[in-house]
Amino acid sequence: MHRRKDLWGPDAEEFDPDRFLDERLHKYLIPKPFIFLPFNAGPRICLGQQFAYNEMSFMLIRLLQTFSSITLAPEAQHPDTRPPTEWAQAEGRKARERFRPKSHLTLYADGGLWVRMNEAENA
């Protein structure tokens, strides 16, 4: 649902958090809040949404302050969980995936998302 072009626009498949800040916010999400459902929407929307955003922002900031670089390490990933070779011929986003996204209750990386991190000098 969160990758549907009819709901999110032609660039729906791109990872671009700016869509929550720029004119796309007013074009897509504000008129139809039920298109974004990690916390559900409406009267039973998650009570902890803003708290969860705060926690995540703090964690991300601390991570970026502590490490000078974070890069994908596909060689560390178990071969069975790398994107299958036939994906290279697939349509759209699939052909560009560098890890294997899977969906369950939430979206996750099959086998984990293996990365190499360098500690920042003045961390």
Please state the residue numbers annotated as binding site for heme: 46
**CB-side exposure of 74: number of CA atoms within 13 Å?**
9
Q: Which helix (H) or strand (E) holds 103?
A: strand 101-103
To ligand HEM, the closest distance from the beta carbon of 87 in angstroms equals: 28
Q: How far is the CB of 55 from ligand HEM (least distance, A)?
A: 7
Distance in Å, CB of 78 to ligand HEM, minimum: 26
Interface residues with ligand HEM (CB under 6 A)? 38-40, 44, 46-48, 51-52
Q: Rank residues 45 and 72 by Cβ distance to ligand HEM and give the closer one.
A: 45
